[in-house]
Amino acid sequence: MQPTPESTVEANAAVTFKGITIPPRPALLMALQREMRKDDPDFRKIGQLLRRDAGMAGSLLKSANSAFYGTQRHVETIEDAITLVGMEQFSALMTGLITRKVLASGAMMMARFWDVSEKRSIGMGHVARQTRLFSSELAFSFGLFCDIGIPLLKAHYPAYLQTLQLANHGSERFTQIEDERHGVNHTAAGAFLAETWGIAEQAVQAIALHHTLAALHDGHVPQTVRRLIAANLLVDRAIQEFRSEAGYSSDHDYSEWNVACAPAIVTMGITPLQAETLCAELKQRFANPLPS
C-alpha cells in the first residue's frame, strides 16, 4: 500500500526529552535518508518518494532553479535536480525544506529564527566548499539543526522568549541561563532532536557543544566536531553583521567570535586574513537567499 502525501510523520508517538515534546522523524525524511545513504542511490526512487508530496516536490524544484544554485539549465524533474545540484546539496536542501514544513508552525513559529537558520546552513555550506574541512552535507545539517532547540523550548515554556532575551544580551552564560530558568538548554534539546531524526553523529555532537567554547581546546572532542564549532562562530559573526548592515534591529550585543576568534582560526587552519575574506563572502552570499 502506497503512503499518501499526508503521511508525513512516522506513526510512532513523539518522544519527550526532560519534559519537552520531540516530534517524531517525518516518514518522508526517513525514507529519503534510507535511500540516499545507499552506496548506489536510485534517483528514480527518490523522485517517486518526493512526488507523493506535490507541495514538497514543487518547493524543491523552485529552490533548485533559483539563482542561489546557478544551474546552467532549467530543472524540470527531481532527477534533474539531483544531477545538476549534486547529491550532497540536494540532500541538504531536501532536509531543510522538510524540517521547516514540520517544525515552523504553531507554537514553534519564529520568523527570525528560521531566517537565521537558513543563513547559518547556507554559510556553513559555503565554508565547507571553500575550506574542505568537512562535507557540505554535514555542514548544512549542522547549520540547520544547530539552534533547533530554541523553537522547541519556546513551544514548551511560556516565558522562554524572556530567557532568550536575557541570554542574547551581554552574556557569556547562554546555556547556563536556560538551565537555571528551565532546567534544560537549547543545545541539549537540539542535539536530542537531531539524533532522533537520524542526523549524522558528528553534527549531533557539534550541536550539543556549539556554545562550549572550551571544546575548541579539547583533544577528546573529534577534530571534525571542533571544526564545525569553529566555523559556526565565524558564520554567526557574519550573520550578525549582515543583519546589522541590512538595518535589522539587533537582539545580540555579545559575540562569541570576539571571545574565541583566535582558537577558532587555529582550529580551522586558516589565517586571520582568510577569516575576514570568508566573512565578506558569507555576507555577499546571504544577499542571494533561497526562495521561500
- Domains of the chain in sequence order: 1-103 (1.10.3210.10), 111-292 (1.10.3210.10)
pLDDT at 57: 87
The Cα-based distances of 264 to 61, 231, 235, 261, 267 in angstroms read 36, 7, 11, 5, 5
Average pLDDT over residues 36-62: 89
Of the candidate ranges 90-94, 142-146, 209-213, 286-290, the one whose mean pLDDT is the lowest: 286-290
20 φ, ψ (degrees, to nearest 5):
-95, 135
Average pLDDT over residues 143-159: 94
Give the DSSP H/E element, type plus range, for residue 21: strand 20-22
pLDDT range class, residue 1, cuts 50, 70, 90: very low
Quote the CA–CA distance of 141 and 121 in Å, as a whole number.
Answer: 7
pLDDT range class, residue 282, cuts 50, 70, 90: very high
pLDDT at 146: 95
Average pLDDT over residues 268-281: 97
Q: In terms of pTM, does the model score above 0.85?
A: yes
Sequence-distant (≥ 6) Cβ neighbours of residue 7 within 8 angstroms: 27
Evaluate if residue 241 carries a pLDDT over 70.
yes
pLDDT range class, residue 253, cuts 50, 70, 90: low
Are residues 154 and 106 in contact, defined by beta-carbon separation less than 8 angstroms? no
Closest among 213, 215, 208, 155 to 185, alpha carbons compared: 208
Closest among 154, 104, 134 to 203, alpha carbons compared: 134
Q: Taking each helix axis from N to C terminus, what angle separates 87-103 and 136-145, rounded to the nearest 10 degrees? A: 10
